[in-house]
Amino acid sequence: MLRSSVNGVLRARQAGAERRLATTVPAESVTEDANGSASRSITLPEIVTSKLASLQTDIVSTILEQHSITGGAVPAMSLSSLATTNNFTKNLQEMAKYYFAQGGKLFRPKVSLLMSDACSQLAGSKIDAGSVSLNQYRIAMVSEMIHTASLVHDDVIDESDQRRGQPTVNARWGNRQAVLVGDFILARATKVLCSIGEPPVISTMAEVVEDLVQGELMQLTVPSELEPAQRFQHYMTKTFYKTASLFANSCKSVAMLAGLSESHQKDAFDYGRHLGLGFQLVDDMLDYVASSAVLGKPSVSDLRQGLATCPVLFAAHDYPELNALINRRFRQDGDVERALNIVMNSTGLEQTRELAKEHSLAAVSLAEKLPRGDSSRDCLIEIAVKQLDRDH
């Protein structure tokens, strides 16, 4: 009974919540995406569009790439053993290809390519028939591969059975194989990264994987004795590790490859950091106001997984009774419904949006340091602002 009444409250308030989250971006042409959702497109530079068009194909080719099993270093394997190994590899490849074949927003490589172009323009270089070098393109590939591997692993940890409106790898093939698939994608991403041949860049991107692991551990092990301010800091640090680090270090890496100064590298890193934090904060809001069909996964999934995201933490300031529910990770009967009701009646969503706006505008300020008249610079600014308006 409580669940149905709260779901009624959610439906009744969803339209109002969406109106409260409306952005201040100037009006422009609006189209509908494949889900029938309103979307505002950004006109990308041709060099970025062309690179994005081939990126998923190149990733799949990397996933399917065959290599010598022995390399002549060990005795040749028997034909039966070789066939078994090849079948095992082929199965891994097919599972790894599963997410890439579905297509995604390619948001992370898009940001990497735009930053590549802008940084190369700043450095005064004209390379690869445009302003994105082969190694910068490889960073874009690696960013998408690391992101996809993290999704595969996250779905196992969260016991999710749906992603992008499709069954997850673990739902189709089981948790054990899904873990191996995620590892396999990371291994192939590492090969692409090593082909860059720049140790400082390789080290910078390696930090992303370390941060992902640390962020996941922080999410799984939130100390119950934390004060509200400490809990919020824990959450923001975790959010950097799990989400923003990939944006930040990818942007820094392409700036390094453009030969920019450490000061410019830091600006690129900070742009990615603020963009990534704002991106995740918007995700936190969407879990409450967007439908399952639009999200491609069940709505209010964070609460059901025991996660206190930004709207909950803000709501707890005005409703201290939420703290007990947060500490027990919403495990008792009725906890999820009660927390949802409080969040939807609080200013948690508005405060989360304001924080997302702060980070997005900080990213805008950093992008504005790039050369005026550069279309990639303008796109980096637009992306930071318009992410506040996305609905999935």
pLDDT in tens, 189-201: 999 999 999 999 9
The gap from C-alpha 353 to its chain's centroid, in whole angstroms, comes to 18
**What is the structure's pLDDT at 131?**
82
Q: What integer pLDDT is reported at residue 379 of this predicted model?
A: 97
- Kind and range of the H or E element at 39? strand 38-39
CB atoms within 10 A of CB 59: 25
- Residue 361: the pLDDT is 97
Task: In whole angstroms, give the CA distance from residue 331 to residue 312.
Answer: 15
Q: What is the CATH number of domain 44-65+79-389?
A: 1.10.600.10
The closest alpha carbon to 249, from 211, 218, 288, belongs to: 211
Place of tokens 């005064």: 124
Distance in angstroms (rounded) separating the CA atoms of residues 215 and 234 = 10
pTM: 0.84
Residue 9 tokens, joined:
């409250």
pLDDT at 86: 58
Alpha-carbon gap, residue 67 to 143, rounded angstroms: 23
Over residues 331-378, the pLDDT tens digits come to 999 999 999 999 999 999 999 999 999 999 999 999 999 988 889 999
Q: pLDDT value at position 162? A: 84
Residues of the chain with pLDDT under 70: 1-40, 67-88, 103, 125-130, 291-298
Q: Tokens for 213, please give them.
A: 């692991």
Distance CA 297, CA 162 (A): 6
pLDDT of residue 72: 44
18, 64, 264, 266 from 77: Cα distances, Å = 61, 21, 51, 50
